[in-house]
Structure 1
Amino acid sequence: MSLSTKPYELPAGIWQTLWRGTLCRCPRCGEGKLFRKWLKPVDNCAHCGLDISGQRADDLPAYIGIFVTGHLLAPVIIALITGFALSAWMLLAIIIPVAIVMLIGLLQPSKGAVIGLQWWNGMHGFRKERRPEETPQ
C-alpha cells in the first residue's frame, strides 16, 4: 500500500468532516477508503496516511442507527395503523424487516461519521488538524 503523492485538502469544517465519514471516506483527505471490511476500519488511509487504528466508535453508531430508524419509521407505523386495517402480525411482518434493513444500512455510514467526529476533535490518538488561517491582505 503506497501513499499518494497528490496533495489533499483538509476539510473546511466539522460538517464536511462528518460528510466524508458518512461516505466512508477518510475524514482528513476525503479520498481514501475508511473501511476494509463492513465495519472494520483500515489501519491507515491509503491516500494521506492518516492512522485510523486508534478510533473508538464503540456503540455510538448503533445508537445513532436506532435513533434515526425509530424517527423515520414512526410516521410509517402511524400511517399503516391509521390508513390500513392491518392485523398486529401483518404490521410486525412489515415493520421488523424494514427496521432491520435500515439499521444495518445505517451502521457503516454512522460509524464513519463518528470516526470523522473523533478526528475533527483530536480524540483517541488523532491529532487535531485544521486548515491554515487565511491572512487578510
Structure 2
Amino acid sequence: MSLAESPAPQPEDDRPVWPAIRRGMALRCPACGEGAMLHRYLKVRDNCPHCHEELHHQRADDGPAYLTLTVTGKVAVSLMVWLLFTYDPNPVLLFAFIATLVVAMSLYLLPRFKGMMVAIQWSRRMHGFGGSNR
C-alpha cells in the first residue's frame, strides 16, 4: 500500500468513552468528573454544578432499570442455586437472604447504571450532547 492509498488520519476522540463511563458510574459529571451528576436518587441535574456542562439532553429511559434487573437477577439466582445445592438451607432463611441481597443490589446499582448510560450518551454525542467541545 502506497502512501497515497493510506487512509485519512482519524480525528482524536475528545470524549473517550471509558473515562466517561468511570465518571458516570461514580455519579460524577462525564465532562469534568468533579460535579455531582444526580440531584436526588435518580434525578439528573440540568447542568453540572462544577463545569456547567448541560446534562438535560440525557435519555436513559428504561436502560438502567433493565441492566439492574439483569445483573441483579443473574447474581441472585446463581447464588441461590449454589446455596441450595451446597448447603441445603432453610427455605425461609434463603428467601430472606436473597430478597435482602436483591433489594440492596438494586438500590446500589440503579443510580450507577443511570450515570453510566448518561455518560455514554455524552461521550458519543447522542441526543443533543454534541454542542460542547469538551
TM-score class, shorter-chain normalisation, is 0.7 to 0.9
Q: Is the 8 A contact 1:120 1:128 kept in 2?
A: no
CA drift at 1:116: 0.2
Q: Is the 8 A contact 2:15 2:124 kept in 1?
A: no
Runs of 4 or more above 4 Å deviation = 128-131
**Residue 125 (structure 2) pairs with residue 125 (structure 1):** no
Q: Secondary structure at the match of 2:58?
A: coil
* Partner in structure 2 of residue 24 of structure 1: 27
CA drift at 1:124: 1.5
Aligned residue pair count: 122
* Partner in structure 2 of residue 67 of structure 1: 70
Q: Secondary structure at the match of 1:101?
A: helix
* Residue type of the alignment partner of 1:19: R
User: Tell me, which stretches of 5 or more residues in structure 2 are unaligned?
Assistant: 1-12
TM-score (norm: length of structure 2): 0.81
TM-score (norm: length of structure 1): 0.79
* Partner in structure 2 of residue 37 of structure 1: 40
Q: Is the 8 A contact 1:119 1:128 kept in 2?
A: no
Q: Is the 8 A contact 1:19 1:113 kept in 2?
A: yes
- Pick closer, same or farther for the CA change 1:71–1:128 going to 2, 3 Å: farther
Give RMSD over aligned pairs. Answer: 2.1
- Pick closer, same or farther for the CA change 1:87–1:74 going to 2, 3 Å: same
Measure, in 2, the Cα distance between the counterparts of 1:34 and 1:56. Answer: 14
Measure, in 2, the Cα distance between the counterparts of 1:129 and 1:44. Answer: 13
Identity of aligned residues (%): 36
Measure, in 2, the Cα distance between the counterparts of 1:21 and 1:107. Answer: 12
* Residue type of the alignment partner of 2:61: D
CA drift at 1:54: 1.8
Measure, in 2, the Cα distance between the counterparts of 1:52 and 1:42. Answer: 6
* Residue type of the alignment partner of 1:98: L
* Residue type of the alignment partner of 2:20: T
Q: Secondary structure at the match of 1:61?
A: helix
CA drift at 1:74: 3.2
